[in-house]
């Protein structure tokens, strides 16, 4: 008997039939004696429908009221899933975020979980009931409904697992695990049996969409055993995301390759090469609430320097305007933008003991005459920005070069 | 400056554009200095969509979970309406039933309001904000979400008006007031400026669908000044539903004519004419949770009697089965059913001082050769059951006979 937290995403609960399937899966665990807590997303499409209604009313909906509207999506799912469990004779009780209660801060549309009251959940579990909790939502100290932001249901699942000290947190999704890279781009991509939190974090932040970054951070911090599984397959162990690196085995140098097409490069040309210039350029960007990813400042000559950085494609127009409005501050010659960029990252904890990884990345890309425009590294990751048209080629050759094609 | 509670039904908030219209109307009241509390229904069609989802999961959804699902409809509306008010620069805050809190009993899908905590609402009103409350829903003492049953948003509006001691409770709907009878049937039907609670109650229970009976009862009990208005017209005073009969004016004898096609007559033929026979026949009907409307027991002869009663058409099959299963109890010759019945009622407090009303009803119908099958009276109402095919004719001739055609 184990205490298991399961999280089902929007596709897994996308129709009444799929909800019935999820109920059957939960019933199996319940019948073998496990205690099961389930966190669910809104039915696929529902959150977008609700946001669409809000946008029809206002181009800039009030965050508090947007949370009131959007949080109904998960509330519908918890009720429907409990009905489906009751149909199977499985006792089950639903909880909204406010009912649990999942206490968050008051940052509407992107709230953070502060505390979970596990007492009512434990009481129901001890009484033999499955507990179904609305993902993505909570309540602040004043009783206002909050949401955790897109993908927040993963975080709800992990936070519940942490609060309940669960044996495992299972994230059910429409893929059967974490892959060495995106199989749609690299047919030889393989499912990983295990990946460390650090690697998963790099893979997630570098473009892998399977798990929300905050959920992985949370799981790592509270040492929650996390497993990614497909809700559409009966069997399969998925991918286990572990705290500990497996020291008994020879580490593969590279675990996976992540990439993102959602990149734009901005270059401030001919800025004065003086201390504080980076702050003068990036200050307005930060004020406009835009995340900057990679930053490169070239060696200056004749008192001038070129300063480049990348932002998400969706933020490009806003970033450009913020710079243009502040041109007088940093006195540059021109602002150049390039929206045909992509980022590709090789990730692996084995990199720590293998210093040759960076040069192998550069060599592999050079062999294909792919020009590297920017480079960023961490202890377990090397990321490069290249022209988007070379992305698939780069993914395939790197996948092969690091031996990921073979099991 | 007044404190006004407004209730908008599903049709009035049926689309983002209609919600914007409602916001403009509320803004007018707010701008002239009124304090406004608004209760809203789900957008039209939404409650049925949600019930449909539940029925796809289970033919008999758990009431607690059905309430969790269905209550999301009103929650969406409160958020959208607040956004629309914010767009107009009007401060507004939404409340779910649980947030107010509207305390109910635990009778899921048909809960009754026990108490309303008006403190947070008053605080917001005093701060100059419009308060928007989800109709139809509440929360029980354990924090479970409850709903008040169909049409319950009217009750929410009236209960809020009572709790806040509001100057007026305005029920906005898709008609511009209460009419002497249904204008689709009698073209000469006129809008009433005033109607008493007693009359409205009889009109509502006799088939007028404008207001929910429980809301009228509630308003009468707590002396809430109630007004029915159209949400689609800019001007118009609607119909005021008052506590006091206007003693200064000559009362019209009859205020309105209500009717219902939703009637079925059941006759138990040749039952023994002995004490207790009515109980033996109606006991099984009550046990099957079926409301009986009119009851007629004919004078017996040769030790036998015919016993007739009416039920709602939707309950006919269930009622017939309940009788057949218990035939041995009351030992009758046969059970006859007639599902082509209609009920028509003339209603008016003026009837109290005009004893000739009943005979005028009978005379008017007799002149048209319309046979009366059953009769039921109260202090302010005379209702008769006739063949459904004569219903429109009966409505027109009675409307004329009691002088309702003229203003």
Boundaries of domain holding A129: 3-174
Q: Mean of the per-residue pLDDT values for chain B?
A: 91
- Asked if residue A406 has pLDDT above 90, the reply is no
- Asked if residue A264 has pLDDT above 60, the reply is yes
Contacts of B61 in chain A (CB under 8 A): 83
Beta strand A239-242 pairing with A102-104: unpaired
Q: Please, are residues A258 and A202 in contact by the beta-carbon 8 Å criterion?
A: yes
Annotated binding site of B for substrate: 47, 74
Looking at the DSSP assignment, which residues form a beta bridge with residue A139? A103, A145
Number of domains in chain B: 2
Point out the domain boundary residue: B174, B207, B223: B174
Answer yes or no: is B65 within a domain.
Answer: yes
Check the annotation: does A8 bind a ligand: yes
Q: At A407, is the pLDDT very low, low, confident or very high (cuts 50, 70, 90)?
A: low
Check the annotation: does A135 bind a ligand: no
Answer yes or no: is A162 within a domain.
Answer: yes
Instruction: Say whether B143 and A99 touch across the interface (CB within 8 A).
Output: yes
- pLDDT tens digits along A139-163: 999 999 999 976 789 999 999 999 9
Q: Quote the pLDDT of residue B207.
A: 60
Q: What is the CATH number of the domain that holds A45?
A: 3.40.1160.10
- Asked if residue B186 has pLDDT above 70, the reply is yes
Instruction: Report pTM.
Output: 0.82
Chain A residues bordering chain B (beta-carbon distance below 8 Å):
16, 19-20, 50, 53-54, 56-58, 61-62, 64-69, 71-72, 75-76, 78-80, 82-84, 86-87, 93-94, 96, 98-99, 143, 145
Contacts of A132 in chain B (CB under 8 A): none
Q: Mean of the per-residue pLDDT values for chain A?
A: 91
Q: Distance (Å) from the C-alpha of residue B64 to the closest C-alpha of chain A? A: 8
Answer yes or no: is B226 within a domain.
Answer: no
Answer yes or no: is A160 within a domain.
Answer: yes
Contacts of A61 in chain B (CB under 8 A): 83
- Asked if residue A376 has pLDDT above 80, the reply is yes
- pLDDT tens digits along A124-137: 999 999 999 999 99
* Residue linked to tokens 């041995």: B328
What ipTM was assigned to the predicted interfaces of this complex? 0.81
Instruction: Say whether A75 and B78 touch across the interface (CB within 8 A).
Output: no
Q: Quote the pLDDT of residue A288.
A: 86
- pLDDT tens digits along A211-234: 888 888 888 889 899 999 988 888
What angle (nearest 5°) sits at the alpha carbon of residue A286, between those of residues A284 and A290? 110
**Which one has a higher pLDDT value, B207 or A365?**
A365
> A–B: how many Cβ contacts below 8 A?
103
Picking from A66-70, A329-333, B139-143, which range would have the lowest pLDDT averaged per residue?
A329-333
Point out the domain boundary residue: B174, B206, B238: B174
Point out the domain boundary residue: B126, B151, B174: B174
B306 lies in the same domain as B168: no
Mean pLDDT of A354-366: 89
Q: What is the CATH number of the domain that holds B301?
A: 3.30.2130.10
Answer yes or no: is B198 within a domain.
Answer: no
Q: Quote the pLDDT of residue A49.
A: 97
Encode chain A in three state secondary structure: CCEEEEEECCCCCCCHHHHHHHHHHHHHHHHCCCEEEEEECCCCCHHHHHHHHHHHHCCCCCHHHHHHHHCHHHHHHHHHHHHHHHHCCCCEEEECHHHHCEEECCCCCCCCEEEECCHHHHHHHHCCCEEEEECCEEECCCCCEEECCCCHHHHHHHHHHHHHCCCEEEEEECCCCCECCCCCCCCCCCECCEEEHHHHHHHHHCCCCCCCHHHHHHHHHCCCCEEEEECCCCCCCCEEEECCCCCCCCCCCCCEEEEEEEEEEEEEEEEECCCCHHHHHHHHHHHCCCCEEEEEECCCECCEEEEEEEEEHHHHHHHHHHHHCCHHHHCCCEEEEEEEEEEEEEECHHHHHCCCHHHHHHHHHHHCCCCCCEEEEECCEEEEEEEHHHHHHHHHHHHHHCCCCCC
- Asked if residue A378 has pLDDT above 80, the reply is yes
B13 lies in the same domain as B138: yes
Q: Quote the pLDDT of residue B305.
A: 86
Q: Please, are residues A71 and A144 in contact by the beta-carbon 8 Å criterion?
A: no
Q: Quote the pLDDT of residue B149.
A: 78
Instruction: Say whether A82 and B76 touch across the interface (CB within 8 A).
Output: no
Q: At B176, is the pLDDT very low, low, confident or very high (cuts 50, 70, 90)?
A: confident
| H or E element that contains B3 | strand B3-8
Answer yes or no: is B251 within a domain.
Answer: no
Q: Quote the pLDDT of residue B279.
A: 87
Answer yes or no: is A153 within a domain.
Answer: yes
Chain B residues bordering chain A (beta-carbon distance below 8 Å):
16, 19-20, 50, 53-54, 56-58, 61-62, 64-69, 71-72, 75-76, 78-80, 82-84, 86-87, 93-94, 96, 98-99, 143, 145
Six-digit token string for A342: 């992509």
Q: Quote the pLDDT of residue A115.
A: 95
Answer yes or no: is B373 within a domain.
Answer: yes
């Amino acid at each position: 008997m184990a205490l298991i937290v399961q999280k089902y995403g929007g596709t897994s609960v996308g129709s009444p039939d799929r909800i019935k399937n999820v109920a059957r899966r939960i019933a199996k665990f319940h019948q073998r004696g496990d205690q099961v807590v389930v966190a669910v997303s809104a039915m696929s499409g529902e959150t977008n429908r609700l946001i669409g209604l809000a946008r029809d009313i206002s181009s800039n909906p009030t965050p508090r009221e947007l949370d009131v509207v959007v949080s109904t999506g998960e509330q519908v799912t918890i009720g429907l899933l409990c009905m489906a469990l009751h149909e199977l004779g499985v006792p089950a009780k639903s909880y909204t975020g406010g009912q649990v209660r999942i206490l968050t801060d008051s940052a509407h549309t992107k709230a953070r979980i502060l505390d979970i009251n596990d007492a009512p959940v434990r009481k129901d579990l001890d009484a033999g009931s499955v507990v179904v909790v609305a993902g993505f939502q909570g309540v602040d100290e004043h009783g206002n409904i909050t949401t955790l932001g897109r993908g927040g249901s993963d975080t709800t699942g992990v936070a519940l697992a942490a609060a309940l000290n669960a044996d495992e947190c299972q994230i059910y999704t429409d893929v059967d695990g974490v892959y060495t890279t995106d199989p749609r781009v690299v047919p030889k991509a393989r499912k990983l049996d295990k990946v460390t939190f650090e690697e998963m974090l790099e893979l997630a932040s570098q473009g892998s969409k399977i798990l929300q970054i905050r959920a992985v951070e949370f799981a790592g911090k509270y040492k929650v055993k996390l497993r990614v599984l497909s809700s559409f397959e009966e069997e399969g162990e998925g991918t286990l995301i572990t705290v500990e690196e497996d020291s008994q085995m020879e580490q593969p140098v590279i675990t996976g390759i992540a990439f993102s097409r959602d990149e734009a490069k901005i270059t401030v040309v001919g800025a004065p090469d003086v201390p504080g210039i980076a702050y003068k350029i990036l200050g307005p960007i930060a004020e406009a609430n835009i995340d900057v990813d990679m930053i490169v400042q070239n060696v200056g000559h004749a008192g001038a320097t070129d300063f480049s950085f990348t932002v998400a494609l969706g933020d490009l127009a806003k970033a450009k305007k913020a710079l243009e409005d502040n041109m007088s501050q940093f006195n540059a010659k021109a602002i150049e933008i390039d929206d045909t960029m992509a980022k590709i990252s090789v990730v692996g904890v084995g990199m720590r003991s293998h210093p040759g990884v960076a040069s192998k990345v550069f060599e592999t890309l050079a062999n294909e005459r792919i020009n590297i425009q920017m480079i960023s590294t961490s202890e377990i990751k090397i990321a490069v920005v290249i022209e988007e048209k070379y992305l698939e080629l780069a993914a395939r050759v790197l996948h092969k070069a690091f031996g990921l094609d073979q099991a």
